[in-house]
Structure 1
Amino acid sequence: MDTAHDGLTFRDAVDADVDALVALIESAYRGDSSRTGWTTEADILEGQRTDPEGVLAVIKSPDSRLLAVERDGSVIACCQLEHRGTHAYFGMFAVSPALQGAGFGKTIIAEAERFAGEVWGAEEMHMTVISVREDLIAWYERRGYRRTGEMTPFPYGDERFGLPQRDDLRFELLVKPLA
């Protein structure tokens, strides 16, 4: 179902969006284009962030939604929501580097939280963030997420997740109550 907020339109991604979404995600996290935004991972990871198969798997999963966020008819952001019983998982979040810092991220995460709470009845939103990304974690903390200290290892050796440039990468679970 399409919804609109602050000049943005939210809709479920479809197969035809895959190439545009892969390009968006790569532009936000990898290479020189990502350096114009502040969410870049270019200094800690090279290689790919995702691929068409990964994006299509999220679109096709019965427990997931991949939201495509449009402005003036162009996809400028996306995020994944996965229904996991009493909580929802938030991931694959990307905003076009040229538009970062304009407040779209706040609007998008608020809409994701609203959907997970109202439609799925989720009590919490969970996400994992690379633990060395202090600036990004601080941004989520300002949105009400808390660090749990619960870590999972980075998948070293699996090039689908990129080519790590350092040996201390791991994911930390962040949690926010939705009720």
Structure 2
Amino acid sequence: MHVDDVQGHETAAPGRLSFRTASSPDVPALVALIESAYRGDASRAGWTTEADLLGGQRTDPEGVLQVVEDPRSLLLVAERDGELVSCCQLEHRGEYAYFGMFAVRPALQGGGVGRQVLAAAEAEAVRRWGAREMRMTVISVREELIAWYERRGYALNGERSPFPYGDERFGLPQRDDLEFAVLTKPLD
């Protein structure tokens, strides 16, 4: 499976996911999807919510547009029957690809969409950039989410980075012990 160019669209059977690269007209819908998966009461319909850890925004139109327009990045969009159901960021960083901005519509979480999108992202990072490894950061207290990634072959590598306290673009922390853990996975 591969992602076509920005203008392209990979076809899929009804009910199956199709993948494409986001473009600037997608930004409002992508922001809404990401916010719905992580913030506020609507996010509680899924299991990826960060509503108890962070208030405020998860992202904004400027941040999403920056990823869409960055030549080292792409925002992978997953659609089912023409409806946006998931997205993720891939960024080329030399030997590895960074995976982030991952969101699945809350009502669809737990149904396999995330696994399919993650697998498509890994394949695209190898195809597009020859990436040998995927890396991501996850808030270290998100044990259930870390375990989900570990079941898909990712491992904590021991690296930690601070949470950007004071930068409201990343949310309003509800606790003072937040930091990011780095997970990695070799790509074949």
TM-score, normalised to structure 2, is: 0.93
Matched, 1:26 2:35: yes
Alignment-derived partner of residue 168 in structure 2: 159
- Report the Cα distance in structure 1 between the residues aligned to 2:10 and 2:165, rounded to whole angstroms: 38
Q: CA RMSD in A?
A: 1.0
Structure 2: how far apart are the matches of 1:23 and 1:165? 22
Runs of 4+ in 1 over 3 A off after TM superposition: 2-6
Aligned residues: 179
Letter in 2 for 1:161: F
Shift of residue 149 of structure 1? Answer: 1.6
Per-residue CA deviations over 1:53-109 (Å, capped at 9, x if unaligned) read: 000000000000001111111111100000011000000000000100110100000
Classify the secondary structure of the residue corresponding to 1:78. Answer: strand
Amino acid aligned to 1:103: G
SS in 2 for 1:115: helix
Please, which runs of 5 or more residues in structure 1 have no aligned partner? none
Matches of 1:3 and 1:87, distance apart in 2: 25
Partner SS, residue 18 of structure 1? helix
Partner residue of 1:116 out of 125, 129, 139? 125
SS in 2 for 1:43: coil
Give the match's secondary structure for 2:150: helix
Q: Structure 1 residue 3: deviation in Å?
A: 3.3
Mapped to 1, the partners of 2:122 and 2:10 lie a distance apart of 14
Deviation at 1:165, TM superposition (A): 0.2
What's the TM-score, normalizing by structure 1?
0.98
Shift in Å, 1:4:
5.2
Deviations 1:140-161 (A, max 9, x none): 0000000012000000000000
User: Could you say which residue in structure 1 is the equivalent of 2:156?
Assistant: 147
- Look up the match of 1:60: 69
In the other structure, the counterpart of 2:26 is: 17
2:139 matched residue in structure 1: 130
Matched, 1:3 2:10: yes
1:162 maps to a residue whose letter is G
Structure 2 CA distance for aligned equivalents of residues 144 and 26 of structure 1:
27
